[in-house]
Amino acid sequence: MKKLLLTLILFLVPVQALAAGGAVSAADPRAAAAGQAMLRQGGSAADAALAMMLALTVVEPQSSGIGGGGFFVYHDAVTGQPATIDGREKAPAATREDRFLQPNGQVMPFRTAFLGGHSVGVPGNIALAAKAHAKWGKLKWATLFQPAIELAEKGYVVTPRLAGTIAQMAPLWTKMDATKAVYFQDGRPKAAGDVIRNPALAKTLREIARKGPNAFYTGRIAREISRAVTYAPENPAPLTMADLAAYEAKERPPVCVTYRIYKLCGMGPPSSGATTVFQILGMLERFDLKAMGQADPKAWHVIAEAMQLAYADREKYLGDADFVSVPVTGLLDKNYIASRSALISDTTSLPRYEAGTPPGAQPRTAAISGEVQGTTHFVAVDGAGNVANMTSTIEGPFGSQLVAAGMALNNELTDFSLAPMKDGAPVANRPQPGKRPVSSMSPTIVYDQSGKPIFAVGAAGGKRIIMQVTKTLIAHLDWGLSAQEALAAPNIYFNADALLVESGTALAAQADALAKFGRTVQVNAIMPSKANAAQRTAQGWVGAADPRSDGVGLQE
């Protein structure tokens, strides 16, 4: 009963909290509490972020966890520099370029492609956590696991959001006995207010806590993952013990640019987040967005134009830089971005949005990748000024729908372009053994003119992640909104037929004005978002969470 009362109390914590020392923000209050506990024990921002990642494995299993991967962006207060770790999932060695083609050569329906073993990549989050902890952790490795273990063993209350996702996906679980064992009760899907206990996951977490990260990639846990995928009840596909043992998280150079008076840093390939977010901002730099303000349809018009031009480059050039040439420098070249910005008129829309030719780009054919909405983001800042900003994912709701050793397994391989060829040429983001699929995850840290971090943000939501992060940055840096207000600002995106604006917002009221720029505008009620941020203020760091989510910010 005490545990249930604590859970209810946590849900009443305001979405914004001020901390002179440190702050955390996550998409679930119980995960935020895990991060807060690490800070209060003297842990670093890295410790807090990793504890949140582990807790989210338990309480937000539909979105992320140790059965998936992530990107970690860290500001080191000692060096004053950003660093990034790539924990993105990798394709098993048996992966072929035609993995998602049917015998007739046509692309599989997405339902076939993502369901079961066919879509599971080698998880990277534990390897990422080990690398981050070794570099920046202060607490013992096992300490980071304690909140998650307690939640898995003692149980946690199902939120309406989780209950809705369980109900949505349950029809796919007719053969998924391990999944139903966790998320069904009395022959029905768990509902809001029910309690989930996951002893199998608690056992897994205890084993990794006690034995270290190798316990995940070898031994019992690895065998259970391998068996679950290789002998999956739906679309079995080989994922071997050797695939797991060979996985490495990689520290990669951060991608940094200047925007107005600020420096922004994010994650390079296989993330498309930093390059696309920074391209959009670069194209907008010549427009006085501050003077326009968020109430001016012209501001949203030029944002929409830059968005669609940058996404066109994303689809053509982004991929795993270990496998294909990704012209990051060219995509962010100031002259190239200026040439792309010159295509934008402040009075009319472009008739089409095509990729450009950035310096250093090799001939390439564009293809659409298959990201769907999912994922989670969390931020931690400690009293020493370290900032940990991580986006974590298993891809779509409940990933592949498989559960192994208590954890939901990802469906990240459907983030590859399902068709490996287009117009007779190979696409950059095609499936290949050992390759990491492109991601839109966009963890971003902003620095002021003196080099101090002042803002950190990231989001969930598939390809919409990029635009959630971009609009939050514009709202904060250009329009002067607080972190909380910036996250709450309207969302904007697009599809093949129309510009999409979020219903029930001030932007929706501008739909007719936006249409006068010569485009079709659709007011879209289905634009879920789940973003988290932290902001430095004169009094200290503030954690903030998207009001559309269950998220909260907590102080140290």
Active site residues: 375
| Tokens at 352, concatenated | 């089409």
Phi, psi of 26 (to 5 degrees): -150, 170
Strands 492-494 and 499-502: antiparallel
Nearest C-alpha neighbor of 167 from the set 414, 393, 400, 398: 398
What DSSP line would sit under 183-246, residue for residue? Answer: HEETTEE--TT-EE--HHHHHHHHHHHHH-THHHHSHHHHHHHHHHHHT-SSS-----HHHHHT
Phi, psi of 459 (to 5 degrees): -155, 170
Q: How many CB atoms lie within 10 A of CB 81?
A: 13
With beta carbons less than 8 A apart as the criterion, state whether 492 and 467 touch. Answer: yes
The 3-state DSSP class for residue 96 equals coil
With beta carbons less than 8 A apart as the criterion, state whether 108 and 3 touch. Answer: no
Question: What does the chain come to in residues?
Answer: 556
| Tokens at 280, concatenated | 């959009």
Helices (H) and strands (E) in the chain, counts: 20, 25
CA distance 550 to 530: 8
Looking at this protein, which amino acid is placed at residue 55? Answer: A
Phi, psi of 519 (to 5 degrees): -130, 165
The 3-state DSSP class for residue 325 equals coil
